[in-house]
Amino acid sequence: MSYELDPLPYDYDALEPHISEQVLTWHHDTHHQGYVNGWNSAEETLEQNREDGDFSSSPGAIRNVTHNGSGHILHDLFWNSMSPEGGDEPSGELRDRIEEDFGSYDAWKGEFEAAAGNAGGWALLVYDSFSNQLRNIVVDKHDQGALWGSHPILALDVWEHSYYHDYGPARGDFVSNFFEVVDWDEPSARYEQAVELFE
């Protein structure tokens, strides 16, 4: 099985002025494509090693599957969590659950922004199926700090290539402007799917 990079669900300039056309082009076409290529290459190495019975390079390839595979999956979630029509707040079942698990939308958002300010990769809102609750987590790189049994609901990429061209070192401004393009339809659908599976 090989993995492919899907096109963005909107034009490259659709999220301006919050995220520039240049950043989306670099980020999607170069960085994200690199994770897809890395995942495919690692899978090919593992398949060849199984055929040859030589597993000397398998540990590195296995690590590359988790790193590049997580990078591909999280970027896909990131693109689909935004749209030119975004900028609203969640509603319906997801809004109710955020208020139940965090006390209020503002409390959730404050904690999420704190996570994004501290992350060495990603801030995620996840559904934790073990504890049956929503929680924010900090994931460094793409796969360090992930919580077993958690299903990503909302993903924010805070690697420097996500924002430095537009915002310089002002990561907090980028995080604030992310909320101007968040489209909660996709995260809400992912939340409902997770709850249907585990509650």
For 113-137, the pLDDT digits (tens) are 999 999 999 999 999 999 999 999 9
Both 123 and 184 in one domain: the answer is yes
DSSP for residue 29: I
User: Residue 77 — pLDDT band, cuts 50, 70, 90?
Assistant: very high
Query: Is 94 in contact with 191 (CB distance < 8 Å)?
Result: yes
The pLDDT of residue 69: 96
pLDDT at 108 > cutoff 80:
yes
Both 50 and 130 in one domain: the answer is no
Give the C-alpha separation, 170 to 16, whole Å: 17
What is the end-to-end Cα distance of the chain in Å, rounded? 32
pLDDT at 35 > cutoff 80:
yes
Q: What is the domain-level CATH number for residue 56? A: 1.10.287.990
Residue among 16, 61, 68 nearest 38 (CA): 68
pLDDT at 144 > cutoff 90:
no
Residue 14 belongs to a domain: no
- Long-range contacts (CB closer than 8 Å, 24 or more residues apart) made by 144-151: 144/120, 146/70, 150/124, 150/126, 151/126, 151/127, 151/190, 151/193, 151/194
Give the C-alpha separation, 85 to 41, whole Å: 36
The pLDDT of residue 111: 98
Q: What is the domain-level CATH number for residue 149? A: 3.55.40.20
User: Residue 1 — pLDDT band, cuts 50, 70, 90?
Assistant: confident
Both 109 and 155 in one domain: the answer is yes
- What is the pLDDT of the chain when averaged over all its residues? 96
Q: Which domain holds residue 41?
A: 21-80
Residue 192 belongs to a domain: yes
Specify the number of domains making up the chain. Answer: 2
Both 67 and 120 in one domain: the answer is no
Domain closes at, from 51, 80, 109: 80
pLDDT at 147 > cutoff 90:
no
Q: Which residues pair with 136 in a beta bridge?
A: 125
Both 137 and 47 in one domain: the answer is no
Q: Has 18 been labeled as part of a binding site?
A: no
Q: Has 157 been labeled as part of a binding site?
A: yes
Both 59 and 131 in one domain: the answer is no
For the entire predicted model, the pTM comes to 0.94
Q: Has 76 been labeled as part of a binding site?
A: no
Q: Has 161 been labeled as part of a binding site?
A: yes
Give the C-alpha separation, 27 to 125, whole Å: 21
Both 68 and 106 in one domain: the answer is no
pLDDT at 5 > cutoff 90:
yes
User: Residue 141 — pLDDT band, cuts 50, 70, 90?
Assistant: confident
pLDDT at 199 > cutoff 90:
no
Give the C-alpha separation, 154 to 136, whole Å: 9
Both 145 and 185 in one domain: the answer is yes
Beta strand pairing status for 133-140 and 121-128?
A: antiparallel
Query: Is 192 in contact with 184 (CB distance < 8 Å)?
Result: no
